[in-house]
Amino acid sequence: MLIVKSLHIVFVVSWFAGLFYLPRLYVNHAMAEDEATRARLALMEHKLYRFMTPLGALALGFGLWLWQGYGFSGGWLHTKMTLVLTLVAYHLYCGKLLRDFAAGRNTRGHVWYRWFNEVPVLVLFAIVFLTVLKPF
The string of pLDDT tens digits covering residues 61-76 is 999 999 998 777 889 9
Could you tell me which of 72, 66, 51 has the C-alpha nearest to residue 6? 66
When computed from its CA atoms, the radius of gyration of the chain, rounded to whole angstroms, is: 17
- What's the chain's average pLDDT? 96
The pLDDT value given to residue 130: 95
- By residue range, what is the domain housing residue 75? 2-133
Domain count, the chain: 1
Cα separation, 80 vs 131, in Å, equals 8
**Other C-beta atoms within 10 Å of 133: how many?**
9
Could you tell me which of 131, 100, 124 has the C-alpha nearest to residue 19? 124
Cα separation, 77 vs 96, in Å, equals 29
